Each structure stands twice: as structure tokens, then as C-alpha cells.
Amino acid sequence: MNSNFRQPDTASDVPHRASDGSQFWRSLEELEGDDAFFVALRREFPEYANRLTDGATRRQFLQLMGASLALAGMQGCVEQPQEKIVPFVQAPEQIVPGKPLYYSTAMTHDGAGIGLLAESHMGRPVKIEGNPLHPAVPEIMSAAAETNRLRFGASDTFAQASVLSLYDPDRSQTVLRDGQISTWDAFAAELQATLSTLAEAGGRGLRILTETVVSPTFADQLRQLVELYPNAAWHQYEPINHDNELLGSRLAFDADVQTIYHVEAADVIVSLDADFLADGPMHLQQARGFANRRRVDSTGAASAASMNRLYVVESSLTVTGAAADHRLPLAPRAVAAFSLRLAQALGLQLEASESAENATSVGDQIPQEWLDAVAADLQQARGRGLVIAGRAQPPFVHAIAHWINATLGNVPGSVEYVEPIAARPELQLDSLRDLVNSMRAGEVHALVILAGNPLYNAPADFHFAAALENVPLTVHLSQYEDETSARCRWHIPELHFLESWSDTRAGDGTVSIVQPLVAPLRSGKSLHEVLATLLGNFAASSYEIVRSYWRSRLEAQSTEANSDVVWQQALHDGIVANTGSPAVQPTIRGDFAAVLGRQLSLSLPAGEGISVVFRPDPSLWDGRFANNGWLQELPRPLTTLTWDNAALMAPATADALQVKNGNVIEIIVEQTAISIPVLITPGQSANVVTLHLGYGRERAGRIGNSVGTNVYPLRSSGAMWHAEGAEIRATGRTHKLALTQHHHVMEGRNLVRAGTLTEFQEHPEHPAFMFEGHVPAEDVSMYPEHKYDGYKWGMVINQAACIGCNACVVACQAENNVPIVGKGQVLNSREMHWLRIDHYYRGSPENPEHYHQPMLCQHCELAPCEPVCPVAATTHSSEGLNEMTYNRCIGTRYCSNNCPYKVRRFNFLDYNRELRQDAVLQLASNPDVTVRSRGVMEKCTFCVQRISAARITAEKEDRKIRDGEVVTACQAACPTEAIVFGDLNDAGSRVRQESASALNYSVLGELNTRPRTTYLAVVRNPNPALR
């Protein structure tokens, strides 16, 4: 892997590279029709283990009818077609054919940026990694010896999957006017005309609707716009926003602040319905911080102090809840009540009001000992405690969290406040309400919607579609021609962040420059360009806009001479130095108790019956990723549901309603009804139904259309997160839910080793819970041992650290060209993921303990799969890898039968047919990994392509591969460093240390398979008081 480019001098040409790149791509577009060229392009990465077209087309079927049995023989001898080589006309600098380059960029998600490294092969990005220099991104193997190795940072599912969206064939490609293909110039002309009329009135009637804006450049453009048209207005709306946090901070401090949690600093963490391990601008750092405090070493003593304790009070099961030491499932309003009670227990004085009464009455389902234990723990951990409120909780819960953290002196230890990172912090719900009202009132003459899909995801009671009818000129910029585009006069294709310039801010305000990896694959415009046209500049390119903004800004502030140097450094590092938001020390307002009292009455909706809880979907978020096959097929954490959303409910609730998995129920909230299948989820709070947003899209694309159920119709401005008093009735219909795991009970098998910290400390050297059930026998083989001198690759997975966030699964899919198979195939257990996260629970179905067990090829030294292969298609390498040679495989599937871990995946059908047919989609494939054909087995290879790349580099330098030089895709993505990979023969390697731990064990070790992938047991830290 090349890393030289990371020195500034080479990075200094980045803009040139882009232009060269674009030239290359423009020539591509010229040649678009030319097959030969695409053949040549395809040459860039491997195709199929055999080149047969395994088609099921009717024509082929007829052709084959005659041949029948004889056919098999004939197919064998198909000769390779002539391949072409197409060199550059002018070789671009930096690009060495056949070697990847890494460029730093950033992705904006949920109103904050996450820094990324994009791996580019011959100018096409194929893999995303986290940028370790970015404040929101924890580094992987940071401890490893500092070599010229490439440093990776963690990332999340959305970042990993973003590269697939870039090549999505369904992305819109042309400007549309009323659905008819039009041109940018036509648009510009019409816009100009309208603007000129609006100009007199100072732009009155011009409205801009954006999503949360954090981009400094964009903010600057908006500022200019408002200067130009003083009477124009800019609104922000995202269905999943931070309104409650904002209100909460105003409530507590009477100020807008951005809260930063230093989870690692906290000994006791209380989550009030906060999914802080997977949600929030800094969730990767939070997850890392949490995990770092869950590791215990064999010296039990030391670990006692080091290990934190997590209490989670939540109404809907989350990965954070699954990771908790103590989890309390409550109805939403009970969560609010709990926080109030907690505050009171910690000394908050509320004058007795009916609202307080209300709170207490609602809270009667809260176990008192729980409350006491948490309060006591927090008290005891003064200054080292942390209370986090979830975005779904009403503002006063956030206020209470602030209050507790302040009162217990957790600020600045584990909580820190900085100025808001948003360009204009505001209550987005109100912002949208204003817009809709003026639309209804006919005050809006031109509405420019820059990204976002309000027609699909605006609160139902706003009737956005109807309001839109009153607007003469509507413009919608979006990557897909979606629901909103369909109702707007103009649709402008939006560029993907990997193909346009921009900038963004991390959760702490640090700015990253978003630089493109390729010139646009499809003609489109960026936010900046469209806004520039509003400012009268029709020709400006994103690069010029962003560059000029930063030139002026850097020249303004940068003391040292050349702003270009700073700019180059920023491009290279992926962050602009010291741009973080300034810290603030807000103080709890004096009249806190009073204000709070007033809030309570509004915030604690009474009401009986079933509460419906709306949550962002772990895969599709608010629906924007609906057309991303990787995310659609990604088993949702804990439920392993794919290709659908469902009404998640507790077993008890399901019994009460007399429904089973897959039964379609009708949920009625205020006369609005939706039909959605049931999925029973142990751990879900009683009488609470969780609905995930983002499904039932009508115009998402071929993949996302009409997958799942659209639950936005139930979501009104009054009930953005919780709807009380829902009515549910069974419809008698059923719907097949594609789950990748049907059975979450261990059937008394000792598959996951788990114990408590106390148990561990009794015998840190050999904890009792490590020796329950079967213990692998020592050399029971009649054959002699195989010796592995040289490298001995192995992996250790720390189950205590794994939070089941799925980032590794998508990373693996992206790195290894793992195909998408579709719902039908998943229903028949044919999903292809090389790495899956098994989930088991222990204990009562009401509130069980959850365990994640990432399961991938264990690379057994005595692999059962190998001796049964008749053609030696799967064998052992001299470094102990269990190798799968696709092109030798004839597909007996015996290896899969004989694999106790069932990690082998088989191409039952031609899963790459579409890939082969779509020249652009092909560009997403990793050229270092074979794209498998029909009828061959495949499985995790420990990213052998990365090992081999590292080996070649090392060999060329006449040295051994250093620890941390080979980082598998899953390891690189993991925010908690739960996955460690390396050479077991290297005494200094981290994997060696972890494999020596007293908590290390092999799954099914008693079968004497001698796995190279071993696990570290789960150690939890429950509060003795709650035993």
C-alpha cells in the first residue's frame, strides 16, 4: 500500500490530480458507447473465476434444451476473449498503474462531519476508511510501531457504504423540468428570470430549504444570499434532528451549546434513552472511550478501578442497551419520569406541582432499588460520572442531564461544552413549520430545496405536498429523483460527496475539506454550485467556491505566510488546523427548578395504551440510504432483520395482542393507520412498539422502492419521537421477514464465555467461567503437529468490546466484493456476508443479557473443511491461512457442511450478473479480489490481499512485516478495536498478547479444530446492590 503521498509535497498537487482525473474521466464519457473501452476499463479489476455467462434467460434455456447433459462438458472449454490495454495519453502524476492511493475527505451525516480516507485505484474510489487525524475518528492500532505503514481510523456503516452509493446506477443523471429531460442552462435561465422579478422585493418570496448546515463555505454563501436578498429566508429541516438537545441546553443554560462527552473519563455512565455508542456526531469516539474502559487484563486488581459501569434506561432496545451492565426497559414517558426521579434523588428541589405529581405517578413502574443504586453510584463517582440524554427525550430530560452533570461536577471531566457547530442552530421543526405556513399563505414564490426529501419525511400534519402546490417555482437538488423531486418543477441531480468539493465540521467543530476522488461520474451539481447560481454566478465550480472561501479565510487569520501551505496541509491531513469550536463554560440558570417545573407539564404527555416509538433505522437512517443494497441487506443490530422494517415489540406485548413474527398488524395513531409486520424482540419495553423510519420509499430507486413500511404518516409535529395511546389490531395477513438469524438462544451450549468482574477477580489467572462446559483436550490427534515458523496469522475478537454496530460487516463486504443477494435469497438463508455478528441472549425474555459474537472463518489449523474437498480447492497456506481457491472450486459444498461455524458462503446463483452487466457498477469492485462466479464457495480470507500487499512491500525492503502493518478490513472499521489481527509468532504483537489472555477462548474448541481466530470473554461490571 502506497503511503508516500501522505507527505505534503506530493499532496500539494491534489487539485491538479483532480483535474487530470477529470480529463481521464471525461475521455471516458466521450467513449461511453464504446464497449472495447469498457472491456479495457474492466481489465482494471478481476472478473469471474470462469467467464461463462450463467444466464437463466429463456433464449439460453432453449439453446440448452438440446444439449442437456452434454452441456456440462462443453462449457469447460471456453477460451479467454482478447483483452485490450488502454494507456493514458498523458500520464497523470502520482498515479502508478496497479497501485492504490489514499486521499483524505469527509462525509457529512446527521449535522456533523466524519473524516475519511478513500482508497483509489486508477482514479476510482473503491474503499473507505476512517481518517485517524480527524477528531471524531479513533485510530486503529495506534499503539503499533510507527512505520511508514498507512494509519487507519475507524468508521461506521454509513461511511463504509457511501462508496456504493457513488456508483449507484439509479442516481439521477439529468436536469428535469416537470419530469421532462432539460438542461442546466434552461434551468439557469428560468431561475434568473424569477430572481430578477423577486429582486425588487429584496427577494421576498424566495425560500431556501436545506438540511442541517455545518459547511463553513455553504454558510458563507447563505450569508451572501441573505445580504443579496434581505427578505429571502433560509430554513433547515432534517427528520432526525437535534431540536431536543438544543431546547434542553437552552432550558438548562439559557444558551446554545454543543455537548461533547468524554466517555472514557467516566466511571459510571447513565444513559437516559441515549444510544451514544451508535448515535451522535462523536459516536465513534464515544464507543472507543467506552470500550477502552471495558478491557480487563489478567491482573484483575488493576482492572477493577479501570472498568466502567453502564446503566441504560431506554424504551427501545439499542446496541448501547445491549452493552449495558444494567438495563431498564421503560415506556418513553417513564424514562422521562425516571430522569426526574433521579434528579430528585440527587437533590433537585422541585416545588410540588401537579406536573411533578404526574411525573411521579407515571414513574410508579420504576423499581426503587434501581433508582437508589444509580443515584448512589453517581454520587460516589462524583466528577467521574456521566449522564447522557437521548435525542428522542423531551428537552427537560436533557436539561436534567446537564443539571446532574453540573451538580456532580462531571464537567469538565467527562462532559465538555463548546459553541454549536451548526451554521445556525435552530429548532428545525419550527423552521419547517414557518416555511409550510408561508407556503400555505402563498407567500413563497420560489422554493429551492437543497438536498433532503421533505415530501417523504416532513411531519405528517404539515401536509407538505399540499403546501408545495402553492409555490410557483420549486427546485429540488438531490442525488435521486425522489418523492420530492417528483413534485417539484425542477430537479437538479446532486453530486456525491466523493465527486465534488465541499467542507464540513466535526462534532467538536473541527473543519475538514471534502475533496472529490473522481470527477462526476454523472453530470450533476453540488450544493455550492446551485447556491452560487442563486447568487448570480452560473459557472462557478465547487472547487473554486470552496478554495476561494478558504483562501480568503486563511489569509485573514493564518499568521504564517502562505495560506496555500495551510490549505495543502488541510487537504493532506483531512482537517483544517485549530478550527475547533471554542469551549464555553455555561452555568445552570438560576431559575432552573421553576423553568423545569413549567416544562414538565408540556413534556410529560399522559395517556394509556401502547406507545409507539420512532427511531432512525440503523441501516437506512431517515431513508436516504434506501437504495444502498449493502445497507438494505445488512442485518440490523440485535434483530438481524434485513430488507424490511417491522413493529418491534416485547414477547409479552405480542402475546397480549396474540400476534407472532411476521403477522401484519395495523397501528392506528390519531385516525392514521399503517400496516406493518410484527417482529418480537426480547428486551423491548412492555407495551412499547418501535418503528424504524426510512422505509416504504416510492421513488428511492430499484433497490429501495417499496421495501418495508413507511411510518412517517404516523409521525406528526406533536409526536416526533413518541406517539402515545396507539391502537393496534391484527390484520390476519402475514409478511415474510428476512432474518439472518432465527435462533438467539444458546441451547445450553457454552458458545459465549461471560462472567462478572467480581468473578474474574477471584481467579484472574484462570477465571471459573472460562472452564464451564467442554474444555478443548490437548493434542488428541494421531497425526503430528504442523509447524508454522515464519508468519502465523491470527485474530482475536474481544467480545467485551464489541458493541455489534455492524461497521465491520459492511467494511468486509466493500473490501471483498461480497455480492448483494436480495430478500428472496436471504429468506432462504443464502446471504453472502463473510463476517456476521451472531447475537445471543441469556436470561428472561423481558430483559435478557445480550452477547455479540462476530463470526467469520476461524482459520482452524485442523480445518474440517479442507480434507473433504475432492479437488483441493480449500487448503492451508504455510502461514496458516485457510485458503479458498475459487477458480479451483467445483462446488460440492461439502466444506460448508463440515464447517462447524457455518461461515462458508456459496454462490447458489449468479449473484454478480448485474455487476457484470453494469459497467459503472463494476467500478466499485476491489481490483485486488476476484469477483466470484456462480457455483463456487467463498469465505473470509483474513483479507489475504492486504497481507500479500504488505508482504511485497516488506520483502522489497528486505524486512519482516511489522505489527499493525496488516490491518484487515473489519479491524480497520471497528470503532472499539474489538478485532485485532497480526502475527502470532511475533512476540511483541498485540494479537499475541491478547491470545495469551486468561479470558481467551476458542469457540467450539472441544472439536479440536484449533481456530486461529479466538475470542476474549465478556466481562461485565454489575452493581452488587442490584444482584
Partner 1 sequence: MTAPANYFGVLAEFADADELVAAAREVHAAGYREVEAYSPMPVEGLAEALGFRRTRMRLVVLVGGIIGCLSGWALQYYTSVIAYPLNVGGRPVNSWPSFVPVVFEMTVLVAALSAVLGMLAMNGLPRPHHPLFGIPQFDRASQDRFFLCILARDPMFHPMSSRQLLERLGPVEVTDVPQ
Partner 2 sequence: MPNELETKHEPFLERGHSMASVTNKISSIVLARGLRWGWVWGLAISFAGLMLFLVSVTYLFAVGVGVWGINVPVAWGFAIINFVWWVGIGHAGTLISAILLLFRQEWRTSINRFAEAMTLFAVACAALFPLLHLGRPQFFYWMAPYPNTMGIWPQFRSPLIWDFFAVGTYATVSLLFWYVGLIPDLATLRDRARRRFPQIAYGILAMGWRGSARHWKRYQDAYVLLAALATPLVISVHSVVSFDFATAIVPGWHSTVFPPYFVAGAIYSGFAMVLTIAIPLRAAYGLHDFITDRHLDNMGKVMLASGLIVAYGYLTETFTAWYSGHEAEWYAIGNRAGGPYAPIFWLLIACNIVLPQALWFASVRRNVFALFALSLVINVGMWLERFVIVVVSLHRDYLPSSWAMYQPTFWDWSTYIGTIGLFASLMFLFIRFLPMISIFEMREMVEESAQEHA
Partner 3 sequence: MPQIFHPSMNTISRATIFGAVFIIGFIGWLMGAVVRSPYATSAGVIKEQPVPFSHEHHVAECGIDCRYCHTSVEDSSFAGIPPTQTCMNCHRELWTESPILEPVRASYRTGEPLVWNRVHDVPDFAFFDHSIHIRKGVSCATCHGAVDRMPLMHREATLHMEWCLECHRQPERFVGPRELVFASAASPADESKVAQSNWIEAYHVQSKTDCSVCHR
Please report whether residue 908 would count as binding partner 2 according to CB under 8 A: yes
Please report whether residue 782 would count as binding partner 2 according to CB under 8 A: no
Tell me the site size for partner 3, rule CB under 8 A. 47
Closer of 815 and 861 to partner 1 (Cβ): 861
Of 110, 139, 494, 910, which one interacts with partner 2 (CB under 8 A)? 910
> From the CB of 67, what's the least distance to partner 2, in Å?
8
The residue among 969, 972, 902 whose CA lies nearest residue 942 is 969
Q: How far apart are CA 791 and CA 788, in angstroms?
A: 7
Q: Could you tell me the end-to-end alpha-carbon distance of the chain, in angstroms, rounded to an integer?
A: 51
The residue among 242, 244, 265, 305 whose CA lies nearest residue 386 is 265
Q: Residue 862's binding partner, choosing from partner 3, partner 1, partner 2, none, with beta-carbon cut-off 5 to 8 A by kind? A: partner 1
Of 33, 35, 65, 85, which one interacts with partner 2 (CB under 8 A)? 65
Q: Mark 988-1017 with x for binding to partner 1 (rule: CB under 8 A) and - for no binding.
A: ----------------------x-------
Residue 757 CB contacts under 8 Å (≥ 6 apart), including other chains: 296, 300, 303, 304, 307, 1019, 1020, 1021
> From the CB of 872, what's the least distance to partner 1, in Å?
6
The residue among 446, 517, 533 whose CA lies nearest residue 488 is 446
In the structure grid, which three cell numbers stand for residue 716, read together? 406528526
Amino acid at 21: G
Query: Is the separation of the CB atoms in 694 and 620 below 8 Å?
Result: yes
Closer of 765 and 783 to partner 1 (Cβ): 783
Q: Mark 68-87 with x for binding to partner 2 (rule: CB under 8 A) and - for no binding.
A: xx-xxxxxx-----------
β-bridge partners, 447? 207, 474
Closer of 877 and 945 to partner 1 (Cβ): 877
Map residue 986 onto helix, strand or coil. coil
> From the CB of 894, what's the least distance to partner 3, in Å?
18
Using CB under 8 A as the binding rule, the residues of this chain from 768 to 797 that contact partner 1 are 781, 783-786
Closer of 75 and 365 to partner 3 (Cβ): 75
Closer of 337 and 869 to partner 1 (Cβ): 869
In the structure grid, which three cell numbers stand for residue 829, read together? 438463508
Please report whether residue 786 would count as binding partner 3 according to CB under 8 A: no
Residue with the three cell numbers 458458545: 751
Of 34, 469, 785, 1006, which one interacts with partner 2 (CB under 8 A)? 1006
Of 506, 863, 944, 974, which one interacts with partner 1 (CB under 8 A)? 863
Residue with the three cell numbers 440503523: 618
Q: Residue 75's binding partner, choosing from partner 1, partner 3, partner 2, none, with beta-carbon cut-off 5 to 8 A by kind? A: partner 2
Using CB under 8 A as the binding rule, the residues of this chain from 676 to 705 that contact partner 2 are none
Rounded to the nearest 5 degrees, what angle is found at the Cα of 675, between the Cα atoms of 673 and 676? Answer: 135
Part in contact with partner 2 (CB under 8 A); list of ranges 23-31, 143-151, 550-558, 905-913 = 905-913
In the structure grid, which three cell numbers stand for residue 401, read together? 442531564
Please report whether residue 890 would count as binding partner 2 according to CB under 8 A: yes
Query: Is the separation of the CB atoms in 377 and 309 below 8 Å?
Result: yes
Part in contact with partner 3 (CB under 8 A); list of ranges 295-303, 377-385, 660-668, 928-936 = 928-936
> Pairing between strand 502-505 and 511-514?
antiparallel
Of 319, 408, 517, 937, which one interacts with partner 2 (CB under 8 A)? 937
Please report whether residue 922 would count as binding partner 3 according to CB under 8 A: no
> From the CB of 866, what's the least distance to partner 2, in Å?
8
Closer of 420 and 1011 to partner 1 (Cβ): 1011
In the structure grid, which three cell numbers stand for residue 717, read together? 409535529
Q: Mark 45-84 with x for binding to partner 3 (rule: CB under 8 A) and - for no binding.
A: -xxxx-----------------------------xx-xxx
Please report whether residue 875 would count as binding partner 1 according to CB under 8 A: yes
Q: How far apart are CA 119 and CA 963, in angstroms?
A: 21
Q: Mark 731-770 with x for binding to partner 1 (rule: CB under 8 A) and - for no binding.
A: ----------------------------------------
Please report whether residue 35 would count as binding partner 3 according to CB under 8 A: no
Of 193, 872, 890, 996, which one interacts with partner 1 (CB under 8 A)? 872
3-state SS string for 237-268: CCCCCCHHHHHHHHHHHCCCCEEEECHHHCCE
> From the CB of 940, what's the least distance to partner 1, in Å?
17
Question: DSSP labels for 218-232?
Answer: HHHHHHHHHHH-TT-
Closer of 681 and 941 to partner 3 (Cβ): 941
Closer of 101 and 881 to partner 1 (Cβ): 881
Please report whether residue 904 would count as binding partner 1 according to CB under 8 A: no
| H or E element that contains 284 | helix 283-292
Query: Is the separation of the CB atoms in 211 and 357 below 8 Å?
Result: no
Closer of 365 and 781 to partner 2 (Cβ): 781
Of 79, 227, 743, 780, which one interacts with partner 2 (CB under 8 A)? 743
Please report whether residue 907 would count as binding partner 2 according to CB under 8 A: yes
Part in contact with partner 2 (CB under 8 A); list of ranges 48-56, 109-117, 350-358, 475-483 = 48-56
Q: How far apart are CA 527 and CA 90, in angstroms?
A: 32
Closer of 179 and 773 to partner 2 (Cβ): 773
Closer of 279 and 883 to partner 1 (Cβ): 883
Long-range contacts of 340-343 (CB under 8 A, 24+ apart): 340/396, 340/400, 340/600, 341/366, 341/371, 342/270, 342/371, 342/374, 342/375, 342/378, 342/387, 342/400, 342/404, 343/400, 343/403, 343/404
Q: Mark 159-178 with x for binding to partner 1 (rule: CB under 8 A) and - for no binding.
A: --------------------
> From the CB of 877, what's the least distance to partner 1, in Å?
8
Of 2, 148, 541, 877, which one interacts with partner 1 (CB under 8 A)? 877
> Pairing between strand 385-389 and 268-272?
parallel
Using CB under 8 A as the binding rule, the residues of this chain from 861 to 920 that contact partner 3 are 875, 877-879, 881, 883, 885-888
> From the CB of 906, what's the least distance to partner 2, in Å?
6
The residue among 902, 936, 843 whose CA lies nearest residue 329 is 843
Q: Residue 863's binding partner, choosing from partner 2, partner 1, partner 3, none, with beta-carbon cut-off 5 to 8 A by kind? A: partner 1
Query: Is the separation of the CB atoms in 753 and 769 below 8 Å?
Result: yes
Helices marked H in 441-579: 454-457, 464-468, 483-487, 527-534, 542-557, 563-573
Q: How far apart are CA 744 and CA 1004, in angstroms?
A: 17
> Pairing between strand 836-842 and 849-855?
antiparallel
Please report whether residue 99 would count as binding partner 3 according to CB under 8 A: yes
Q: How far apart are CA 575 and CA 749, in angstroms?
A: 49
Other beta carbons within 10 angstroms of residue 636's beta carbon come to 22
Please report whether residue 784 would count as binding partner 2 according to CB under 8 A: no
Q: How far apart are CA 991 and CA 141, in angstroms?
A: 11
Of 85, 352, 561, 782, which one interacts with partner 3 (CB under 8 A)? 85
Of 864, 876, 954, 993, which one interacts with partner 2 (CB under 8 A)? 864
Kindly report the length of the chain. Answer: 1027
Chain residues that interact with partner 1, rule: CB under 8 A:
781, 783-786, 860-867, 869, 872, 875-878, 1010
Chain residues that interact with partner 3, rule: CB under 8 A:
23, 27, 36-37, 40, 43, 46-49, 79-80, 82-91, 96-99, 875, 877-879, 881, 883, 885-888, 928-930, 941, 944-945, 948, 952, 955-956, 958
